[in-house]
């Protein structure tokens, strides 16, 4: 068992432990959770020599700072941000050695929303249903990071192969999301579907790990009343009573009664995870 750990010096707005999530439990009412920007999570792990399913720390908006207990190799990916070790600038998007007792500080992103901190050996909190991910909706997994908390790390791995460049797409200045219409697009008027495709939406400040809320024109319903609760999938675009689309992300509920006008394919969701409030959103409806 490794004696390495990190102590939280500054937790930030919302920092959570995430891995690839806990798929396969929706029939029990348990969502997947996991890293919202999965490519950034995988890249951070690769840079420090971890397998893809090792747990990382996902930060939101303001970054975080941790103190190393035992020397550890760290990589920060996701949204570009300033990184320092004991006040000295360090590389973003590359493996960095943090000495025992030193403080790694990950600042607020210069653009984008979420950063990923991978530590050699991975964050070693106890798994729940096979995953170490925090699910903010259900409360499963470890709690969000808090100042003074200590997180164990797994056994250190051999030093990773150095890289000169780690290609990573920057956060989108405009979010363009294909939407496969259905299963409840017939609950909306043809005018509503034209509204959905016409743009005029932006990411709402009320967005979170459960869903990306939007601001913009409401979608007109063709059907009144409500549906019985039915299964919800990752990427579902649900339309609540105010008519403004909500894109379900990793911590989404497994059932819901508001109609789903369409589904955004999973490969497009990492860009949504990095979209800051106010980012223009353009939906591109498609027939499956």
Q: Over the stretch 205-215, which tens digit does the pLDDT of each residue have?
A: 999 999 999 99
CA atoms within 13 A on the CB side of 37: 30
Which sequence spans correspond to the domains of the chain? 5-152, 175-286
Say which residues have a Cβ less than 8 Å from residue 36's Cβ, sequence separation at least 6: 18, 58, 114, 209, 249, 250, 269, 270, 273
**DSSP H stretches of helix in 166-232:** 190-197
What DSSP character marks residue 234? T
Looking at the predicted structure, is the pLDDT value of residue 253 above 80?
yes
Task: Say what the pLDDT of residue 168 is.
Answer: 73
**Domain boundaries 175-286, corresponding CATH code:** 2.40.100.10
Measured CA to CA, the distance from residue 198 to residue 184 in angstroms comes to 19
Mean pLDDT for 251-279 is: 96
- Is residue 259 within 8 A of residue 225, CB to CB? The reply is no
Measured CA to CA, the distance from residue 249 to residue 125 in angstroms comes to 23
pLDDT in tens, 138-157: 999 999 999 999 999 999 87
Task: Say what the pLDDT of residue 50 is.
Answer: 94
Task: Say what the pLDDT of residue 158 is.
Answer: 73
Four-residue CA torsion sign, 181, 183, 184, 190: positive
pLDDT in tens, 271-286: 999 999 999 999 999 9
| Confidence band for 2, pLDDT divided at 50, 70 and 90 | low
Measured CA to CA, the distance from residue 39 to residue 35 in angstroms comes to 9
pLDDT in tens, 7-41: 999 999 999 999 999 999 998 899 999 999 999 99
pLDDT in tens, 95-108: 999 999 999 999 99
Looking at the predicted structure, is the pLDDT value of residue 169 above 90?
no
Among residues of the chain, what percentage have pLDDT more than 90?
89
Task: Say what the pLDDT of residue 160 is.
Answer: 66
Task: Say what the pLDDT of residue 164 is.
Answer: 64
| Confidence band for 287, pLDDT divided at 50, 70 and 90 | confident
**61-75 as b/e, with b when 16 or more CB fall inside 10 Å?**
bbbbbbbbbbebbbb
* 44 three-state secondary structure: helix
Residue 243 CB: number of other CB atoms within 10 A? 15
- Is residue 202 within 8 A of residue 282, CB to CB? The reply is no
Measured CA to CA, the distance from residue 171 to residue 156 in angstroms comes to 31
Looking at the predicted structure, is the pLDDT value of residue 170 above 60?
yes
Looking at the predicted structure, is the pLDDT value of residue 161 above 70?
no
Average pLDDT score over the chain: 94
Mean pLDDT for 170-190 is: 93
Looking at the predicted structure, is the pLDDT value of residue 181 above 70?
yes
Measured CA to CA, the distance from residue 122 to residue 52 in angstroms comes to 10
**Per this entry, what is the length of the chain?**
288
């Amino acid at each position: 068992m490794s004696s390495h750990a990190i102590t939280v010096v500054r937790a930030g707005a919302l920092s959570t432990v995430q891995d690839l999530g806990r798929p396969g439990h929706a029939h029990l009412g348990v969502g997947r959770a996991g890293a919202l920007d999965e490519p950034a999570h995988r890249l951070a792990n690769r840079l420090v020599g971890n397998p893809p399913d090792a747990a990382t720390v996902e930060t939101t908006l303001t970054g975080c700072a941790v103190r190393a207990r035992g020397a550890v190799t760290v990589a920060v990916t996701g949204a570009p941000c300033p990184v320092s070790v004991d006040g000295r600038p360090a590389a973003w998007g590359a493996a960095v050695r943090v000495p025992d007792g030193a403080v790694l500080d990950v600042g607020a992103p210069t653009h984008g929303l979420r950063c990923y901190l991978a530590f050699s050996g991975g964050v070693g909190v106890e798994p729940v249903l096979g995953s170490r991910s925090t699910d903010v909706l259900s409360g499963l997994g470890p709690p969000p990071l808090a100042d003074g908390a200590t997180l164990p790390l797994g056994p250190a791995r051999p030093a990773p192969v150095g890289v000169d460049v780690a290609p990573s797409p920057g956060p989108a200045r405009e979010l363009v999301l294909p939407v496969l219409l259905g299963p409840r697009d017939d609950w909306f008027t043809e005018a509503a579907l034209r509204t959905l495709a016409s743009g005029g939406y932006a990411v709402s400040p009320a967005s979170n790990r459960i869903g990306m809320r939007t601001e913009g024109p409401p979608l007109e319903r063709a059907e009144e009343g409500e549906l019985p609760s039915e299964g919800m999938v990752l990427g579902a675009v649900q339309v609540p009573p105010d008519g403004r689309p909500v894109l379900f992300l990793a911590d989404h509920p497994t059932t819901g009664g508001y109609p789903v006008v369409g589904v955004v394919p999973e490969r497009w969701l990492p860009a949504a995870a990095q979209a800051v409030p106010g980012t223009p959103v353009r939906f591109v409806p498609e027939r499956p």
